[in-house]
Amino acid sequence: MKALFIVAQQGYQHLEYGIQKQILEQAGITTVTASKQRGVASGKVYTTVATLALDEVRVEEYDVIIFIGGPGAVRYQQDAEAWRIARQTVAQEKLLCAICIAPTILAYAGVLKRRNATVWNEDGEQEPLFKKLGITYTGKTVTQDGKIITANGPGAARDFGKKIVEVLGGG
């Protein structure tokens, strides 16, 4: 099994990334990290290295694609490569996951329409956005709708990771 994490070049949420990476790797899943460009990606506290740029991502090489949140993730809301990756993941019937603000990337890409999903909504802005885009906002910490799993932030990170492993058949 192979998982791809997509993080913001600057401003990814380090707990969402670190906890997921640890849970998946402990389950024997190989992980790869991508960002807008190859190289160092910075969170508030930690850095990581993106070995792939978004335009190099080949969805068919992965079992699961995971978009990580954090303030920098909003830069992907209107990003053509992020949209391509999300749409191809759904078209290829692979597992697509997003946490914190990152489900808005999936929303703008059009892959959450007529689905149930959750998202970070502490500012109250994402629930009306979801409604406008035809998405049912659940308000739960983790929501699964078919092969799409969404979570609402760092507090849900552990349950989100466990759900991913479970759906991949390792839990």
CA distance 106 to 84: 10
| 48, 17 Cβ separation under 8 angstroms | yes
User: Can you give the CATH number for the domain in which 51 is found?
Assistant: 3.40.50.880
Q: Domain range holding 11? A: 2-167
- For residue 171, the model assigns a pLDDT of 56
Q: How many folded domains does the chain comprise?
A: 1
- The pLDDT score that the predictor gives to residue 43 is 93
Q: How far, in Å, CA of 12 to CA of 68, rounded?
A: 7
> What residues contact residue 66 under an 8 Å CB cut-off, 6+ apart?
3, 4, 5, 6, 20, 97, 98, 99, 164
Instruction: Using DSSP, state whether 26 is helix, strand or coil.
Output: helix
Per-residue pLDDT of the chain (171 residues; tens, 9 = 90+): 999 999 999 999 999 999 999 999 999 999 999 999 999 999 988 999 999 999 999 999 999 999 999 999 999 999 999 999 999 999 999 999 999 999 999 999 999 999 999 999 999 999 999 999 999 999 999 999 999 999 999 999 999 999 999 999 965
The tally of CA atoms less than 13 A away on the side-chain side of residue 58 is 2
